[in-house]
Amino acid sequence: MSELTIEKIYGTSSESPAQFVAQGDYIAYTASGGVVVCKVNKDLKIQWQKFFCANNVLSGQTTTKVDEYGFPLAGEPELVTRDGLGSSDEPDSPSTTKTIKIRKQDEPGSSSLANKVRSINCIAISPDKRLLAVGEVGYQPRILIYSLARNCSCRPIHIIQEHQFGINSLCFSSDSKKLCSLGLVNDGFLIVWKFVNKRFVFAGSNKCSSIVNKLFWHDDYIITLGLRHIKVWREDSVRTSTILKGRNVLLKNFLNSSFIDIDCLNFSELLVASDQGDLGLMNLDDESIVLRKIYQLPSDTNQFRIDHAHENLVVGGKDLKIIPLNEIFTAPLNDTIRPTPSSPTKIVKKSGILALETLFEFENLVYLQDEQIYYTDSLLQNGKPKVLISSLASKLNGLKRCANNDILIWSKDGVVKRLHDKEFVFCHSVDLPAGDLMDNALSALDSYADSLVLGDRFGNLTFSQKRDDFMKGYKETYKVRAHESSINDIVMFEVGEYSFVASCSRDRTIQLFMKKDDSEWSLFQTLTVHKGNVIKLLFTRGLVIASSSDRTLSIHKISVGDEGPVLSQEKIISIKNSALSFYATEDELVVATNDKNLLIYNLKTFESVKSLKLYNRNFDPLQIDNLEIHEHLLFASSPDKCIRLFGYKDGKLLSSQWGHSETIIGLLYDTATKTLMTASHDGCMFSWILNGGGVVSESALSSPLTSSTSQDIVSPPKVVRKIVPGPELTPMKSAVLSTPKLSASRSPSISRSPSVRASRTTRSPTASAEKPATPSSSLTSRSFGPRAGSVRSDTTPTSNVRSRLAGMKLEKTEKKGDTANALAEQLILDLRKLQAKLVEEESLEPPTVQNLSTQLNRTLKLLPNHDENLLNEYGTVLMDKLLGALEGGRDKENIENI
């Protein structure tokens, strides 16, 4: 069975000191919905990485083996609460052990709220490097304890559920035998847990309702510091009480300060820094602990560490700075203490170095800055710091495989990067026009050959050509305001000797630009066939396919004639619900709709082939946001941020994996490396590989589908348009009707006006009467010709829904014998006659058989008390019997059985 596993993680989502930690030669940081732990060598090269995510639990394991640290490799994690294991004097007694089953969100019996991927707020590694603690925020937050053994299973071994709303900070004692957890302000509890016999038990707690910026464990003391708050906690060693004793530090002149970092100078003295750069000293051995100022650090200081070996203070602000401790204690004292702004709106968000840690007993420094992890030596003598973990892009906004097979990512700020040797390298950067009412952003792009086209939120298209000089990147060659609103998608392609660029937008239009060889780009045509937001474009087999929120898909064909390129409209496919995404295989078009269906169409005839629902393991239908199909496998992402793998032929769920905590903005399968790539808004991208065999033979997935055929002073630049009017599509019997064609040499430019849209909704009654609808007419055609003797009437949007779904026109006048009951009675008689003919061995043409099956299915769906689920469940069996009776055993007994 194929299973998705993570091969590599790009970028980080760490935004605070609590989400980045280093211990010895281990580095841990948050990455979307999980935690990445790396082991580095002396040369600061990553030896191995592991990803820990609670939802990715491999089920079905029954082994009793343990890892190298003695923790189980299988089984459910133990649940630890204040009243759980801690209620017994014998923590290893089986009667006190409670376990909790971690179910994947789509497993039977799971709760989507209780088992969803929660945001990770803080992490900690024990000093002996054996345990990883992860604190969550959200519904029923947990403290997840993982083993860091080299052969660990990356699944939680303990789950602590005692806090509400979320966990603010986590910290291990220096001997790794205790864990301290602090809840958010709404929770307000500081709890100590003892680690005894490989189990956590409750040791003590107390109320701490202040705003805490850091939790620090020094010797036997637990110190919390934050807004106007420094408090020293200690377990009561005299009485066997579970209450933590706390002593407030006298702040004096620091009364209005917010404290952000602390480090120990020696066994009793500690240095404390405020957010304004004031450095204070306090002694834990004093009867009354008082904080006094000793030095003024730069105002942009975020973190500091004391280097005892070299007697230096390493300060992290906008950059790293080393200050000798001797200077700190001998410099003239400035008693002025700058208070923290009283209003939250006046507090400036911290930037620069947000977290600073040491490696190999202060031989090296690692720090978090600009969403990247850097490393350098502790004396800053080896030149510029180097990048250990790089960032994908700030404000990541998209991932795409372009027309030239390059894999590109882009940010809202206009930075474009390209995948090269499994690393993303800088490709291009564009300066986006600024806006007054809202910020501009890069929203779409595509690349073909040496060209790159970018689209932004203001509707601008920027055409660039690859530089051939010593400078890297692209140079701008042409820029135009193509749309009135945000550009949603761009595709580039070639037809003959012509290059094309197609873009779609929220303004409901599709713009086509073209050029020949080395000529300049020019507008070819503006398509206004849609009445809603045009979401996505795709070019395949000479066809431009567009999906819109008006519940239609438009298909246009581009060919090159004697007079130049010719564009013709092939088909307008109407669907019940809006399309979220679509993908084209060699001969099929797969459309994912917001009613949790996959609609499959033939790319040659554009007729509906079948529909399919995808289910999770709890048998709940899934909504698909992104999908790709390769080697008979369907890769998909859902709004629950889960990546799933299905068999394309039978829709069977093969694998489901979590990792992202934000909306997935891109999904693609790289056929060259056989890896799946997914990116989300939190700036992380995951590379997945298939275990257990990636390629699946068609015969292995040949099970039948349950299917149904069916105020700015300067005005903005004017948007360019070139609209060619044409008659509305008429029903097709077997081939697509020809439409007026546009040539490049003679293409009249028509300004956009309300009359253009109005002309598309009117048709000549004479033309309709000359071409009546046939039983094989396409269900997705815009209108149908009236039956003989009836009076034609246009269908309005408020017409009877069932009649529209059945492909019929409502008539203003109705003949006396044309009631539903009369037609049903006549149909029953006709069906009986047909049955008699079939018994007499008369055969039907295959198209007639298909049309008959289609009309019977539509009629069943319109009948009262129609059970769609029951039809989906037994439709395949009934259809097989019907086809067998029509084609093979045409005897009276078979007909009666059906």
| Residue 326 CB-density burial (10 A; 0-12 exposed, 13-18 middle, 19+ buried) | exposed
pLDDT at 883: 63
Spatial distance between the Cα atoms of 157 and 169, rounded to a whole number of angstroms: 20
Residues 6+ away with beta carbon under 8 Å from 61: 73, 74, 75, 153
End residue of a domain, out of 541, 567, 585: 541
Instruction: Convert the pLDDT of each residue in 744-779 to its tens digit.
Output: 443 334 334 343 333 334 334 333 334 444 433 333
Averaged over 20-36, what is the pLDDT? Answer: 94
Tokens describing residue 675:
């890896």
Do 401 and 525 lie in one domain? The reply is: yes
Task: Say if residue 336 is in the same domain as residue 404.
Answer: no
pLDDT number for residue 511: 96
399 and 537 part of one domain: yes
**396-412 in b/e burial notation, b at 16+ Cβ within 10 A?**
bbbbbbbbeebbbbbbb
55: confidence class by pLDDT, cuts 50, 70, 90: confident
Q: What is the pLDDT of residues 105-159, one digit of tens each?
A: 455 545 554 456 788 999 999 999 999 999 999 888 999 999 999 988 888 999 9
Domain that holds residue 848: 826-897
pLDDT number for residue 832: 81
The DSSP-derived string for 515-563 is EETTS--EEEEEE---SS-EEEEEEETTEEEEEETTTEEEEEEEEEETT
Domain check: are 341 and 400 in the same one?
no
d(CA 428, CA 413): 11
Q: In this model, does residue 673 exceed pLDDT 70?
A: yes
One domain, residues 347 and 418: no
**Is the model's pLDDT at 15 over the cut of 50?**
yes
Residue 508 included in any domain: yes
Mean pLDDT of 661-684: 91
Q: Residue 781 and residue 807: Cα distance in Å, rounded?
A: 9
SS3 track for 769-791:
HHCCCCCCCCCCCCCCCCCCCCC
For the chain, give the percent of residues with pLDDT over 70.
Answer: 77
Q: How many CB atoms lie within 10 A of CB 624?
A: 24
Q: Residue 513: which of 440, 430, 459, 453 has the closest Cα?
A: 453
Same domain, 325 and 425: no
Sign of the Cα pseudo-torsion (163, 166, 169, 170, in order) = positive
- In angstroms, the Cα distances linking 856 to 372, 710, 723, 876, 879 are 61, 11, 41, 14, 11
Q: In this structure, what token pair is assigned to residue 468?
A: 């051939």
* Residue 343: inside a domain: yes
Hey, what are 36's tokens? 């990445």
For the record, the structure tokens of 531 come out as 């009445």
Question: Residue 499 is encoded by which pair of tokens?
Answer: 């290059």
State residue 844's pLDDT score. Answer: 80
Alpha-carbon torsion angle 733, 738, 739, 742, nearest 10: 160
Tell me, yes or no, whether 307 lies in a domain.
yes
Last residue within a domain, chosen from 541, 565, 588: 541
Tell me the whole-structure pTM to 2 decimals: 0.75
Report the alpha-carbon distance of residue 299 to residue 277 in Å, rounded. Answer: 5
Is residue 180, in this structure, part of any structural domain at all?
A: no
Report if residue 565 sits inside a domain. Answer: no
Q: Is residue 487 part of a domain?
A: yes
Cβ neighbors of 175 (< 8 A, separation 6 or more) are: 127
Chosen domain end from 541, 565, 591: 541
Q: Are residues 507 and 398 in the same domain?
A: yes
Which tokens hold the place of 844? 């039907």
Residue 176: in which H helix or E strand, if any?
A: none
- The domain total for the chain is 3
- With respect to residue 313, please indicate whether it lies within any of the assigned structural domains: yes
Q: Count of alpha carbons within 13 Å of 389, Cβ hemisphere only? A: 31
CB 562 within 8 A of CB 738: no
Q: For residue 487, give Cα distances in angstroms to 526, 533, 537, 582.
A: 14, 10, 11, 18
For residue 51, pLDDT beyond 70 = yes
Question: Do residues 408 and 520 both lie within one domain?
Answer: yes
How many CB atoms neighbour CB 798 within 10 A?
Answer: 6
Asked whether residue 251 falls in the same domain as residue 327, the answer is yes
d(CA 9, CA 759) in angstroms, rounded, equals 53
Residue 178 in 3-state DSSP? strand
Q: Are residues 318 and 429 in the same domain?
A: no
Does the structure show a pLDDT above 80 at 253? yes
| 320 CB-near residues (< 8 Å, 6+ apart) | 314, 353, 365, 367, 376, 380, 385
Task: Please report whether residue 429 resides in a domain.
Answer: yes
For residue 875, the model assigns a pLDDT of 57
- What is the reported pLDDT for 63? 67
Listed in sequence order, the DSSP H helices in 573-704 are none
Contacts of 315 (CB under 8 A, 6+ apart): 297, 298, 301, 303, 304, 321, 322, 323
Q: pLDDT by residue (tens digit) across 603-653?
A: 999 999 999 999 998 889 999 999 999 989 999 999 989 999 999 988 999
Report the Cα–Cα distance between both ends of the chain, in Å, rounded.
38
**Co-location of 447 and 316 in the same domain:** no
Confidence of residue 816 (pLDDT cuts 50, 70, 90): very low
| Residue 209, H or E segment | none
Q: How far apart are CA 104 and CA 57, in angstroms?
A: 7
Which tens digit of pLDDT belongs to each residue from 823-842? 888 888 888 888 877 777 67
CATH number of the domain that residue 508 is part of:
2.130.10.10
Task: Inform me whether the pLDDT recorded for 366 exceeds 80.
Answer: yes
pLDDT beyond 60 at 809: no
Other CB atoms within 10 A of residue 469 CB: 6
Residues, the chain = 898
Instruction: Give the integer Cα–Cα distance in Å for 875 and 883.
Output: 12
Q: Mean pLDDT lowest for which of 3-12, 560-569, 735-744, 853-862? A: 735-744
Given a contact cutoff of 8 angstroms between Cβ atoms, the answer to whether 534 and 488 are in contact is: yes
Q: Which amino acid is at 362?
A: F
Look at residue 346 in the predicted model and tell me its pLDDT: 66
Burial group, residue 785, by CB count within 10 angstroms (0-12, 13-18, 19+): buried
Regarding whether 532 and 404 lie in a shared domain, the answer is yes
**In which residue are the tokens 């499994």 written?**
422
